[in-house]
Protein backbone atom coordinates (compact mmCIF):
# COMPACT_ATOMS: atom_id res chain seq x y z
CA UNK A 1 0.00 0.00 0.00
CA UNK A 2 2.88 2.35 0.79
CA UNK A 3 4.38 1.78 -2.67
CA UNK A 4 1.06 2.49 -4.39
CA UNK A 5 0.62 5.72 -2.44
CA UNK A 6 4.16 6.80 -3.29
CA UNK A 7 3.61 6.12 -6.99
CA UNK A 8 0.32 8.04 -6.98
CA UNK A 9 2.01 10.99 -5.27
CA UNK A 10 4.85 11.01 -7.81
CA UNK A 11 2.44 10.99 -10.75
CA UNK A 12 0.40 13.79 -9.17
CA UNK A 13 3.54 15.87 -8.67
CA UNK A 14 4.70 15.28 -12.23
CA UNK A 15 1.31 16.28 -13.62
CA UNK A 16 1.17 19.51 -11.60
CA UNK A 17 4.71 20.49 -12.60
CA UNK A 18 3.85 19.98 -16.26
CA UNK A 19 0.73 22.13 -15.91
CA UNK A 20 2.62 25.20 -14.67
CA UNK A 21 5.67 24.89 -16.91
CA UNK A 22 5.66 27.42 -19.72
CA UNK A 23 7.44 26.12 -22.79
CA UNK A 24 9.01 28.75 -25.03
CA UNK A 25 9.16 27.41 -28.54
CA UNK A 26 9.02 30.54 -30.63
CA UNK A 27 9.23 34.29 -30.42
CA UNK A 28 5.46 34.74 -30.23
CA UNK A 29 5.28 32.94 -26.91
CA UNK A 30 8.38 34.79 -25.76
CA UNK A 31 6.72 38.10 -26.62
CA UNK A 32 3.60 37.12 -24.71
CA UNK A 33 5.69 36.35 -21.62
CA UNK A 34 7.77 39.52 -22.01
CA UNK A 35 4.62 41.62 -22.11
CA UNK A 36 3.36 39.88 -18.98
CA UNK A 37 6.68 40.59 -17.24
CA UNK A 38 6.30 44.24 -18.22
CA UNK A 39 2.76 44.26 -16.79
CA UNK A 40 4.13 42.73 -13.58
CA UNK A 41 6.61 45.60 -13.22
CA UNK A 42 3.71 48.06 -13.15
CA UNK A 43 1.03 46.07 -11.35
CA UNK A 44 2.11 42.72 -9.88
CA UNK A 45 -1.41 41.75 -8.77
CA UNK A 46 -2.74 41.92 -12.33
CA UNK A 47 -0.04 39.77 -13.92
CA UNK A 48 0.16 36.02 -14.39
CA UNK A 49 2.95 35.28 -11.90
CA UNK A 50 3.53 31.77 -13.26
CA UNK A 51 4.19 33.20 -16.70
CA UNK A 52 6.39 35.97 -15.28
CA UNK A 53 8.41 33.49 -13.23
CA UNK A 54 8.78 31.20 -16.24
CA UNK A 55 10.00 34.12 -18.35
CA UNK A 56 12.49 35.28 -15.73
CA UNK A 57 13.81 31.75 -15.26
CA UNK A 58 14.02 31.09 -18.98
CA UNK A 59 15.87 34.32 -19.77
CA UNK A 60 18.15 33.76 -16.77
CA UNK A 61 19.02 30.27 -17.96
CA UNK A 62 19.73 31.46 -21.50
CA UNK A 63 21.85 34.27 -20.08
CA UNK A 64 23.89 31.77 -18.05
CA UNK A 65 24.38 29.60 -21.12
CA UNK A 66 25.11 32.54 -23.43
CA UNK A 67 27.71 33.95 -21.07
CA UNK A 68 29.77 30.84 -21.79
CA UNK A 69 29.12 30.58 -25.55
CA UNK A 70 28.53 34.07 -26.84
CA UNK A 71 30.96 36.90 -26.25
CA UNK A 72 28.96 39.20 -23.99
CA UNK A 73 30.29 41.67 -21.44
CA UNK A 74 28.06 42.68 -18.56
CA UNK A 75 28.95 45.70 -16.48
CA UNK A 76 29.25 45.22 -12.76
CA UNK A 77 26.01 46.06 -11.00
CA UNK A 78 23.78 44.81 -13.83
CA UNK A 79 20.76 43.11 -12.29
CA UNK A 80 18.56 40.32 -13.54
CA UNK A 81 15.79 42.88 -14.02
CA UNK A 82 18.15 44.91 -16.24
CA UNK A 83 18.69 41.85 -18.39
CA UNK A 84 14.97 41.07 -18.50
CA UNK A 85 14.26 44.65 -19.57
CA UNK A 86 16.83 44.42 -22.37
CA UNK A 87 15.33 41.18 -23.66
CA UNK A 88 11.78 42.53 -23.34
CA UNK A 89 12.60 45.69 -25.30
CA UNK A 90 14.39 43.68 -27.98
CA UNK A 91 11.49 41.24 -28.38
CA UNK A 92 9.00 44.10 -28.66
CA UNK A 93 11.19 45.89 -31.20
CA UNK A 94 11.61 42.72 -33.26
CA UNK A 95 7.95 41.72 -33.08
CA UNK A 96 7.81 41.26 -36.87
CA UNK A 97 10.71 38.80 -36.76
CA UNK A 98 9.64 36.31 -34.10
CA UNK A 99 9.32 33.16 -36.18
CA UNK A 100 12.57 31.76 -34.76
CA UNK A 101 13.10 29.73 -31.61
CA UNK A 102 13.05 31.78 -28.44
CA UNK A 103 16.56 30.75 -27.40
CA UNK A 104 18.08 32.39 -30.46
CA UNK A 105 16.05 35.56 -29.94
CA UNK A 106 17.18 35.89 -26.32
CA UNK A 107 20.82 35.31 -27.33
CA UNK A 108 20.50 37.94 -30.07
CA UNK A 109 19.09 40.43 -27.57
CA UNK A 110 21.94 39.80 -25.14
CA UNK A 111 24.59 40.06 -27.84
CA UNK A 112 23.02 43.21 -29.27
CA UNK A 113 23.05 44.95 -25.89
CA UNK A 114 26.11 43.46 -24.21
CA UNK A 115 28.54 42.75 -27.05
CA UNK A 116 32.14 43.18 -25.95
CA UNK A 117 34.00 46.04 -27.56
CATH of the domain at 45: 1.10.890
**Residue 69 belongs to some domain of the structure:** yes
pLDDT per residue as tens digits for the range 86-112: 999 999 998 888 888 899 999 999 999
Give me the pLDDT at residue 116, please.
84
Residue 93 in any domain: the answer is yes
Q: What is the pLDDT of residue 73?
A: 86
Residue 14 lies in a domain: no
Q: Considering only CA atoms, which of 36, 81, 78 is closest in space to residue 54?
A: 36
| 8 Å CB contact between 114 and 90 | no
Consecutive sets of 10 residues in the chain, 117 residues long: mean pLDDT of each? 51 44 75 95 93 93 81 88 96 89 92 87
| Contact between 102 and 24 (Cβ < 8 Å) | yes
pLDDT for res 24: 64
- In terms of residue numbers, what domain contains 31? 23-114
Total tally of structural domains belonging to the chain: 1
65 belongs to a structural domain: yes
Amino acid sequence: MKKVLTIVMLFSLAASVDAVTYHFFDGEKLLEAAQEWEKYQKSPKEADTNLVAGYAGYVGAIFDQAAGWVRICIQEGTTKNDILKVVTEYVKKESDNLDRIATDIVKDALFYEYACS
